[in-house]
Chain A
Amino acid sequence: MELLISPLTRFEEIGAPLMELSTTLRHYHTSYEFFQWVHVPVPTRGSMGGGRIVAGLLAPHPPHLVYAENPPQNEPIAECGWETLRWGYERMRKELENIDYDVIVILSPHWQTYIGTHFLGLKNFKSLSVDPIFPNLFRYHYDLEIDVELAKMIHDEAKSNGLSVKMMENPDFRVDYGTITSCHLTNPAWDKPIVSISSNRSVHYYSVEVMQEMMIQLGEATRNAIWKSGKKAVVISSNSLSHRHFVSESEIPEDMSKEHITNHSQYLWDMKMINMMKSGKTKELVEMMPEFTEQSVAETDGGALTWMLSSLDFPTYPATIHEYGTIIGTGNAIASWNTNDERRKIKGVSHE
């Protein structure tokens, strides 16, 4: 069934519950002001579906932010450090407090797979995560729950889209520190299950362009699976922007007098990307991704940002930039795309 409605149509008028309808609207215009009529497929009552992505997050994972916070799970102790970025995460968490969600779906570049995309496929993982680059900062005891059902649904959806996928069901597997860091900073209570997706390194075998195509497919599969699941999901792209590290570390890691962007060109690239996020130009951002990735050695090569924006169907409304800052020379932006905003429901994540 398909209806022709205006953005001002009340949900009740077309006989669908609010949540269901809001997940099925699809936009056909390019600005976030929605003054036009749109075609909306509406699910019939009793069919599966109704799940939706309630927010997309860009949540970088430098272990420094966890280290500086001194949570009980992490062994090393810090005096301070990277406060502005940590305050940015606080603002993002505040925003999430007002968003109802069931599950976090995250893609981290530090679970690198070369043979397809993999999904954690067991209910629980508990172990110690030690960052191989910064073991002095991050030795984190984690105990996390996986939404295996949703993971399998995304896996199946991606498979039916032609992607190579695999469930990871080895209980001894150690969850990567990128996933743990981003999840901790987003939801330190760890009271939501997660779906953890590996970073397929097609970029190494082929090109950034091929990676993008695969991640766009994976994003669509994620969106469709979430809709089918009936769950409300937060999707997280766990990565920094420009990623040229310092190659030496301060004697005191949290010595903020040493912190700055590695070079000016990286800063310019980061600002270019952030401005596109702020102006809702996510398709343009993705088109520019190969150049950005190459020029700034960006961690976007792992595909997480492309995947996340694709899962949101490339928002044309502005992202909220909670903070930008550098960590050991890399550029990090904390951003959110809140699809619950009333004006964005019509633009939000949809399903055909």
Chain B
Amino acid sequence: MSEGKVVLGLVVPAHPHPLLCPEKNPGWARLREAYEQARLIIEESEAEIILIYSTLWISIIGHQFQGLKNPEWVHVDHDFHYLGSMPYKFLIDTNFAENLCNSAKSRGLESRVVSYNGFPIDTGTVVALSLLNPDNRIPAGICSSNMYSNRAETIVLGKSANDAIKRSGKKVAVVVVSSLSNRMFTEPIKPHEDKIHSQKDDEWNRKILQFLDEGRLEDVSQLSREIHQQIRVQKVVSFKPMWWLAGVMGQHNNFSGKVHAYEPVHGAGCAIASLIPISDNVENKEYDEDDVEEYKGDREVLDIPKFEDTVNFSDDEPEINEIKNVEGSLSTTRAPKPVGAYPHARKVGNLLYLSGVGPRQAKSNAIPGGPIRNLEGEPLNYDMRAQTIACIENIKTILEDSGSCLEDVVDVTSFLINMQRDFKDYNEIYADYFGEIKPTRTTLEIRGLPTPIAVEMKVIAKLKD
């Protein structure tokens, strides 16, 4: 299975007017036409999944992913109820939803899949999916916008979505649903009276669109706090969509951008813009202190932490002997540091033998899904799915840095510390990664591993010619 990728990014507005009453205002009609252009671009991109991030789906308990296969409802907007109802029935890629959730967990984010009949899908998502994918030809993924998450956390969320996209092996169009300036008129207006709320809002909107038109996503992402200050109503939720989009698509300016429409809707700035990845463009990414790989914030406020994201192994960690030029031995700084005198991998002939690999993270020693015990040796709850994902991702990294890849794995030996508790989760994640590769496999239960992890895997792979 080849790696999945983002083929297209879109910015679309959340207001229902282009869906419900485009005929009432020429600007709303132009937005509707631009939606149609965006739909065609998605078709041309051959996207197999549409992934939506809507600023109107607010979550508080971590990050949520829609997991119901066919959510169906008749939606009515809280403010614009008089414009009419929005019946919908969408097609959700439920495996991809699980994949998104697990990827977020493996980067330290509190996450869950929601799969309930009648779960309220927000106006923005309903409008975007109804217009971009009217026949449900392409399955969708939908993720929430956490009201407390800051820039670093939102970027990590974006990166985790990118992990999920890669793992899916599919082409994905990512869509952020958000207005630019979002100050609406607080009184009813007639359709023909619509305009951007203020000249200042209009000028900022045009600046953002100039950047997007030039493909400068990272620049807009870095300006998001300023944009929020200048043209967004000051509430708890800040202007996050560009952080997430940059996290998913890549934190750079290497895109071919195009603005398809920019119009006011009840005073707010609404635009439809597309970004297609290209090999090079304006390379001017600045130093970014919020660019982190895992979420390690201090948001855990329950009495007993679910996991400790950094574990000190000093008491039982053996001295690591330097691996000195032993023929065929390979180690990489992108994989967790070995806890003994062994390399990550060793080449013999056209085969690559890997040492046992666990879920620990390369630099931080964090254990996605949490350690199985605390420093006092007391057992902790942990997430086997997140541990298994992290474990396989580490294997993938070592393989790639050693001249092989996951698709070339021919044999796997897995060690679980609790077969009864963990086998099902482990087995499902394993199938996500190896289901089509089909290496031989042996799974054993063992009493313990040197670090507080629940799973370790050892693989043999073919080397590329």
A residues whose Cβ falls under 8 Å from a Cβ of B:
111-116, 118, 128-130, 132-136, 139, 164, 166, 168-170, 172-174, 198, 201-205, 245-251, 257-258, 260, 262, 297, 329
A115-B79 contact, Cβ under 8 Å, with A164-B188, A205-B186, A297-B236: yes
A247-B148 contact, Cβ under 8 Å, with A113-B79, A134-B61, A202-B186: yes
Residue B252, interface by CB 8 Å: no
B116 contacts A130, CB within 8 Å? Answer: yes
Residues of B within 8 Å of A170, CB to CB, are 76, 81-82, 84-85
Residues of B within 8 Å of A114, CB to CB, are 79, 184, 186
B233-252, CB < 8 A from A: 233-236
A135-B303 contact, Cβ under 8 Å, with A116-B188, A202-B186: no
Residues of A within 8 Å of B235, CB to CB, are 201, 203-204
A115 contacts B184, CB within 8 Å? Answer: yes
B299 contacts A172, CB within 8 Å? Answer: no
Q: Which size bracket describes the interface of B in this complex?
A: 35 or more
A132 contacts B188, CB within 8 Å? Answer: no
B300 contacts A248, CB within 8 Å? Answer: yes
Stretch of B52-60, B320-328, B331-339, B391-399 lying at the A interface: B52-60
Residues of B within 8 Å of A202, CB to CB, are 186
A111-B301 contact, Cβ under 8 Å, with A130-B116, A172-B85, A202-B186: no
Residue B193, interface by CB 8 Å: no
A198 contacts B110, CB within 8 Å? Answer: no
Nearest to B87 among chain A residues (CB) is A172
Question: With the chains together, A291 CA to B304 CA distance in Å?
Answer: 32
From B58, B187, B234, B303, A115 is in contact (CB under 8 Å) with B187
Residues of B within 8 Å of A198, CB to CB, are 78
From B120, B234, B266, A130 is in contact (CB under 8 Å) with B120
Q: Shortest CB–CB separation between residue A250 and chain B, in angstroms?
A: 7
A112 contacts B78, CB within 8 Å? Answer: yes
Q: Shortest CB–CB separation between residue B27 and chain A, in angstroms?
A: 18
From A245, A251, A260, B303 is in contact (CB under 8 Å) with A260
From A118, A134, A174, A246, B301 is in contact (CB under 8 Å) with A246
Q: 12 A–B contact pairs at CB < 8 A? A: A115-B79, A115-B184, A116-B187, A116-B188, A166-B188, A169-B82, A170-B76, A174-B120, A201-B235, A247-B60, A248-B299, A257-B303
B186 contacts A329, CB within 8 Å? Answer: no
From A128, A134, A246, B302 is in contact (CB under 8 Å) with A246
Residue B381, interface by CB 8 Å: yes
Question: With the chains together, A139 CA to B68 CA distance in Å?
Answer: 15
Residues of B within 8 Å of A297, CB to CB, are 236
A250-B302 contact, Cβ under 8 Å, with A172-B85, A198-B78: yes
Question: With the chains together, A251 CA to B380 CA distance in Å?
Answer: 13
Nearest to A129 among chain B residues (CB) is B118
Query: A245-B60, A248-B62 provided; 6 other pairs, C-beta below 8 A?
Result: A113-B78, A128-B118, A170-B82, A203-B235, A248-B306, A258-B302
Residues of A within 8 Å of B187, CB to CB, are 115-116, 164
Q: Shortest CB–CB separation between residue B214 and chain A, in angstroms?
A: 32
